[in-house]
Structure 1
Amino acid sequence: MGEPKKPLRTIDAPFVVLGPSGVSIRDRLKGLTAEDDTLLRLLAERLGSLASRDLAARCADGLEHSTDTWAARKRGLTGQSSSRWAGSITKATHDQWALARRGQAAHLNSLDAGIRTLRHRLSLPVGEKGSKHAPGGYRSKYEWFQKTRRLHVLEDRRAAVAADHEAGRVQVVRGGRKLLNTRHNLKAAQLTEAQWRERWESARWFLAADGESGKRYGNETIRVTPDGEVSIKLPAPLAEYANAKHGRYVLAAKVAFAHRGEEWADRIEGNRAVAYRIHLDVARGRWYLDASWTRPLVRTIPLEAARAKGMVGVDTNAGHFAAWHLDAHGNPTGRPRRFSYDLSGTAEHRDAQIRHAISQLLHWAKRTGVAAIAIEDLDFQTEKTREKHGRKKRFRQLISGIPTGRLKARLVSMAVETGLSIVAVDPAYTSQWGAQHWHRPMTAPRHTTTRHDAASIAIARRALGHPIRRRTAPPRAHQSDVHGHRTIQAGSGFRGREETRRPVTDRGHEPPARMRNNERTRATSAPKTVRDARSDGQWVQDSLLLTE
C-alpha cells in the first residue's frame, strides 16, 4: 500500500488589507542661491556629526538604555544645537537602533533554520531520497563531508550573533553598508575617490525634523507656509547665519507639492504635525524637500462590498503579474492579462519597474469595474535558504525574484489612490488546484492559458468566497429528502433559482425546429450541436456555467 495522503492544512479566511499608515511627498528646492547651498551643507554636516555621536552612545548603552540615559543624551545635544533638533536626532537614533535589532533577530532565525536543515540531512544515510515535504540525504560522501564543515561554520556564526543579541550589541553603518563597501570597488562602480567621498558624506548628513501638532503649520523646526516658503530654525552655534526673526533662515526657493498638495495644505492650515526632511542628490546636484505624516489605519470597505462587483485575481511571479477578471459568481470573464517587469539593474530601476507594472494593473482593474484586487499573502523569508533547497540555485533565484515585501507596500498605497481595495488570501494550493481545475477548461485553440493564469482564477475565487473546484458534488439518491441540496446553490435573489434544468439527453434528442415545422430542405441540415440553455430561455446557475 502506498503512503497515506498528508491532510490538507487549514486555509485562512481572506481579509481586506488595511490602508497605508503614512504619506510621503517630495518637491525639488529650485532657485537656491549660493548662500542657501552653503548654509544647508554646513547645517546638515554639523547635525550629521551630532547624530553619529548620539548613535554611538546609544549602541554603547545596549540593553541598559532607559529614559534617564535618553534624557541625558538629549540634554547634551541641546547645548550644541537646540531642544527640537536634539529631539529629532535622538528619535532617529532610536529608530535606527531598533531596525538593526530586528534585522539581527531575523538573521538569527535564518541561521537556526539552516542549522536545523543541515542536521536533519546529515542524520540521513547518504543517497536516501527525500519526500515531497522533507529533503533527503546528501548524494555523495564528499558532499556530506563538506556540509559537516558548513554546519560548524553556521554554528560558530550563530554563537557570535546570539552573544551580540543577548548583550544588546548591534552593527549599524550610518550612510549604508552598501555605500561603504563601494569604497573598495570604485572601478566597478565607475566612481572616483572624490565622487565616492562626496556621496558618503552627504549620506551621513542629518537635516530632518519631526512634526508637532498644535504648532504653527505643524512644525517649528522646518516650517513650510501655505505659499511654499521654507524656513529653518538654526541651532545656537549657527545663529549668526539667520536672515529672519527668531534665529530662522528663509530659503530663496519655494515648494509646491503637485502630488497630495491639497491634503498637505489642509494639514498645515489645521496646524497638524508634518515631518520634513531636506536632502541632497549628489549625482544630480539637486536639493529636495520631503514632507510626511501619519494617518490612522482604516479598512477601506467591508469584505462583502469588495465582493459585490467581482474581483481581479493576481498571481505574483518572478518577472510578471498574471491577472484575470472574475464576476461576482466566480466566472472568468474576458481574457487573462499579463503585466511584466524586470528586476535586474539598480534599486531605482527595480523600484520603477514595480511601480510601472502595478500602475498598469490598477488602471486595467479600474476599467473592469471591480472594487478590489485579490492577491496572495506571500512571505518567502523562510524559503530562500540554500540549506533547504541545496543545489536548486535556479529555484532559489526564482523565489528571490518575486518582490513580496516591496509589492505589498507599493500595491496597497497605490491601490488606495485609485479607489481600489486589496483582499489578501491564503496562498495554500492556489497554483496546484488552479492548474487542476482551470488550466485545461480555459485553454482554447487560439488562446493558451498558463498555469499562472489558472492560479489567478483560483486566487480570485477564494477571495470571493467560492471553492476553487469548478463543479459541485453530484447529487446523491433522493438528495433533497435525506441529504439536502447541493453544496453550492444560487442565492435567494436570483430569478428562477427554484426551477429545474431539463436533462441534457432530452435536449440532445429533441428534433430541430425546422423538422417540427416540416420546413427542412435538402440545402439545409439539422444542427449538429446542442443549443445553449440560455438561448432556450432556461435559467442557468452562474457559478456552474463552466461544466464538463
Structure 2
Amino acid sequence: MVEAGKEPLRRIDPPFVALGPSGVAIRDRLKHLTAQDEEVLRLVGDHLGSLAGKDLKARSATGLKHDTGQWAERKRALTAESSSRWAGSITKATHDQWALARRSQLAHVHNLEAAVATITHRLSLPVGAKGSKRAPGGYHSAQEWFAKSRRLRLLRDRLQRQRADYEAGRVRVVRGGKRLLGNRHNLDVAQLTETEWRARWQARRRFLSADGESGKRYGNETIRLTPDGQVSIKLPAPLAHLANAAHGRYILAAKVSFAHRGDQWRDRVSANRAVAYRISEDTDRGRWYLTASWTIPSVKTVPLQTARSGGLIGVDTNADHLAAWRLDEHGNPAGEPRRFDYDLSGTTSHRDAQVRHALIRLLRWAQHHNLAVAIEDLDFSAEKTREKYGRHKRFRQLISGMPISKLRNRLVTMAAELGITIVAVDPAYTTKWGAQHWQKPLTSTDRTVTRHQAASVAIGRRGLGHPIRRRTAPPPHDQSDRAGHRTVQAAPETPRRQEPRPRVPGPRTRSAPPKREANTGNQDTQHRSGRPTEHAQLTLSP
C-alpha cells in the first residue's frame, strides 16, 4: 500500500562488493632521445597511422557484414606494408575503436529518445502546469512552448538519422579527436597557432602501439623493452633501411625505469609474459612517453558479511567533497564525521590530482580503522539532459561536473592496492532519508551535522544491511499515543526485536486497554499504512 498523495517507492537493489581492477598501466618518460630517435619515431608513427586510418575505413565500410574472413584479409593487406605483428595490433585497435563507436552511437540514440519523450510529455501539458519529482511539468510560457515544439521536430529528424545509421552499421569516427578537429576552425578560441595545431593533430593520429605475446622474448616482439630499460622497435618493411640493429630493429638511446610497479613489470618481462606498450608524444612539453600495460587476475573479493563484520565507513559523494562517517556493526555512528575536499576547477591534470588526493586520505582513514568503505553506485548518465533540467542550468552543471566514473574507478583501483573492500549500495533516497532520520538527532551544541554527513550515515547503514530509518528512544511515560510506539535501537540479529515487550506489572501496563499488546509489535498496525520499505525487501510499485 501507498499513502494517499505519496509517490510509490522504487525498488532498492541490495548492496554488493565491487570487483577489483583487471589490468595495470604504468608510464615513464623517454629521456635523452636524440634528434634521429625522434625523427624515426615520427616516421614510424605516421606510416602506421596512415595504415590504421585505411584499415578503419575498410572496417567501417563493411558494417554489420564483417566476419573473420574479412578480418584476415585486412590483416594480410597490412602485413605487406608493415609486419605481421604490427598488422595484428592495427586490426585489433580498429575493431575496438569500431565497437566503441557503436556503443557510443547506441547511447546517443537512447539520449535522443529520452529527450524526445520529455519534450513530448511537457508539450502535452498546459502552459504553466506544475510537475512532480518524477516528471517535469508544462513549459513556463507560450514562447518557450513554441520554441520547444520546433526543437522537437529537429530532435526527431536527428533521431531518425541516428537510428538508420545504427541499424545499417554505419559509424563516424575522427582519428585524432572530434574536439581537436573543431579547434582547427577556431584557433583563436583554442589559443593555438596553425603550426601548434598541426603538431597536435599529427601526434594524435600516429600509431605506435604493440600488443604483448606470452612466450616471446620479454613479452613483446614489436616494441621490446629489456629488464635493464633498453627500448627497441621492429621497423615496418618500408622503413627497414633506418635500422641501427640486426633483424630490422631500431634501438633508442633512452633508458626506461618505471618508478611505480617497476618490480612487477620486471618480473613479467623476465618470465617472457605478455606486456603491451604504447609510445606517445606530448607536443606541449616536447616529451615522449612509453606506457606499459598488462592484465591481472581479478582481485578476489571478500564476502559481503565479512566486509560488514566490524562496521564500515559510509561515504557520500558531492560536487566538491566527500562526506564520510564511521559506523559500527549495528549501524550506529561512531566518532566524528570527516570531510575530504577537492577542487574540480582548472586543468584536467589538476582535477585528476585533486580526486586522487581526496581518495587517498579517505582510504588511509579506512585502513587505520581496518574497515570497508560503502559508497553509492551512482550513474548520472540519464540525469544530465537539458530537456529535464533546462532552466536549472546550475544544477545541470553541478551533476555534470561531478567526477562519478573517474572517482569510482580510481577508488576501486586504489582500494585494491591497500586491501580495502568497497561496498556499492543503491543511492535511492539516501540523502532524503538521511536528513529526515539522522541529521537532527546527530546535531548537538558543539556539532552541526550537514545533510551530506547524514546521507553518509544512511549509505553506511544500507551497506550494513540495516534500514535507514532511525529507531528512536522510548517515549515519555503516559505519552505513547502522542510520542509514538516504543522502538528502542536493536541489532538486526536480535531475536524477536519487532515483537512487543514482556508485560511488566505496574500502573502503565494496568492502564493499557485490552488486547493492545497483541498488536504492539505489528508494524502494519502502527501510524504507517505499509511496512518499512527496506524491512519488507519488496517493490511497492514500479
Scaled to the shorter chain, the TM-score interval is 0.7 to 0.9
The SS at the match of 2:442 is coil
Greater relative contact order, per chain length (Cα 8 Å cut-off, separation 6+): 2
CA distance in 1, matches of 2:128, 2:468: 38
CA distance in 1, matches of 2:411, 2:167: 37
CA distance in 1, matches of 2:387, 2:494: 54
Amino acid of the structure 1 residue aligned with 2:358: A
Residue-by-residue CA offset, 1:60-85 (whole Å, 9 max, x unaligned): 22122111221111111100000000
Q: Which residue of 1 aligns with 2:536?
A: none
CA distance in 1, matches of 2:463, 2:262: 35
Q: Which residue of 1 aligns with 2:205?
A: 204
Q: Which residue of 2 aligns with 1:146?
A: 147
Q: Which residue of 2 aligns with 1:24?
A: 25
CA distance in 1, matches of 2:140, 2:4: 24
Give 1:127 deviation, angstroms: 2.2
The SS at the match of 2:277 is strand
Amino acid of the structure 1 residue aligned with 2:38: D
Give 1:140 deviation, angstroms: 2.1
Task: Map 1:6-155; keep pairs closer than 5 Å.
Answer: 6-155=7-156
- Answer whether contact 1:341 1:357 (CA < 8 A) is retained: yes
The SS at the match of 1:387 is coil
**Greater shift in the superposed pair: 191-200 or 133-142:** 133-142
Task: Map 1:373-522; keep pairs closer than 5 Å.
Answer: 373-471=373-471, 488-489=490-491
Give 1:19 deviation, angstroms: 0.4
CA distance in 1, matches of 2:258, 2:430: 43
Q: Which residue of 2 aligns with 1:309?
A: 310
CA distance in 2, matches of 1:473, 1:76: 77
Give 1:349 deviation, angstroms: 2.5
CA distance in 2, matches of 1:288, 1:322: 37
The SS at the match of 1:297 is coil
Give 1:422 deviation, angstroms: 0.9
- Unpaired runs of 5+ in structure 2? 476-486, 496-500, 509-542
CA distance in 1, matches of 2:192, 2:492: 67
CA distance in 1, matches of 2:167, 2:270: 47
**Greater shift in the superposed pair: 182-191 or 154-163:** 182-191
Residue-by-residue CA offset, 1:230-275 (whole Å, 9 max, x unaligned): 1111111111222222221121211111111121122222222110
Q: Which residue of 2 aligns with 1:190?
A: 191
- State the percentage of identical aligned residues: 66
The SS at the match of 1:48 is helix
CA distance in 2, matches of 1:84, 1:388: 49
Residue-by-residue CA offset, 1:296-344 (whole Å, 9 max, x unaligned): 3243222122112321111011111111111222221221111122222
The SS at the match of 1:313 is strand
Task: Map 1:519-538; keep pairs closer than 5 Å.
Answer: none
CA distance in 1, matches of 2:204, 2:390: 38
The SS at the match of 1:131 is coil
Give 1:42 deviation, angstroms: 1.2
- Answer whether contact 2:211 2:277 (CA < 8 A) is retained: yes
Residue-by-residue CA offset, 1:357-383 (whole Å, 9 max, x unaligned): 21222222222331x111000111111
Amino acid of the structure 2 residue aligned with 1:464: L
Q: Which residue of 2 aligns with 1:482?
A: none
- Answer whether contact 2:471 2:488 (CA < 8 A) is retained: no
User: CA 1:157–1:170 in structure 2 vs 1: closer, same or farther (change >3 Å)?
Assistant: same
The SS at the match of 2:387 is helix
Q: Which residue of 2 aligns with 1:345?
A: 346
Q: Which residue of 1 aligns with 2:527?
A: none
Q: Say yes or no: does 1:213 pair with 2:214.
A: yes
CA RMSD of aligned residues (A): 2.5
Give 1:347 deviation, angstroms: 2.4
CA distance in 2, matches of 1:2, 1:68: 62
Give 1:8 deviation, angstroms: 2.2
- Answer whether contact 1:16 1:299 (CA < 8 A) is retained: no
CA distance in 2, matches of 1:392, 1:32: 52
The SS at the match of 2:80 is helix
Q: Say yes or no: does 1:366 pair with 2:370.
A: no
Task: Map 1:255-274; keep pairs closer than 5 Å.
Answer: 255-274=256-275
CA distance in 2, matches of 1:16, 1:53: 44
User: CA 1:286–1:264 in structure 2 vs 1: closer, same or farther (change >3 Å)?
Assistant: same
CA distance in 1, matches of 2:259, 2:249: 26
- Answer whether contact 2:330 2:491 (CA < 8 A) is retained: no
- Answer whether contact 1:16 1:421 (CA < 8 A) is retained: yes
CA distance in 2, matches of 1:282, 1:92: 23
CA distance in 1, matches of 2:438, 2:238: 70
TM-score normalised per structure 2: 0.86
- Answer whether contact 1:314 1:324 (CA < 8 A) is retained: yes
Amino acid of the structure 2 residue aligned with 1:116: A
User: CA 1:64–1:404 in structure 2 vs 1: closer, same or farther (change >3 Å)?
Assistant: same
Q: Which residue of 2 aligns with 1:327?
A: 328
- Answer whether contact 1:319 1:401 (CA < 8 A) is retained: no
**Greater shift in the superposed pair: 118-127 or 80-89:** 118-127
Give 1:34 deviation, angstroms: 2.2
Give 1:488 deviation, angstroms: 4.0
Amino acid of the structure 2 residue aligned with 1:14: P
Question: Which has the larger Rg?
Answer: 1
CA distance in 1, matches of 2:134, 2:248: 67
- Answer whether contact 2:330 2:492 (CA < 8 A) is retained: no
CA distance in 1, matches of 2:144, 2:236: 62
CA distance in 1, matches of 2:133, 2:196: 52
**Greater shift in the superposed pair: 125-134 or 407-416:** 125-134
User: CA 1:2–1:130 in structure 2 vs 1: closer, same or farther (change >3 Å)?
Assistant: farther
Q: Say yes or no: does 1:222 pair with 2:223.
A: yes
CA distance in 2, matches of 1:158, 1:324: 45
- Answer whether contact 1:213 1:271 (CA < 8 A) is retained: yes
CA distance in 2, matches of 1:249, 1:202: 20
Give 1:462 deviation, angstroms: 0.8
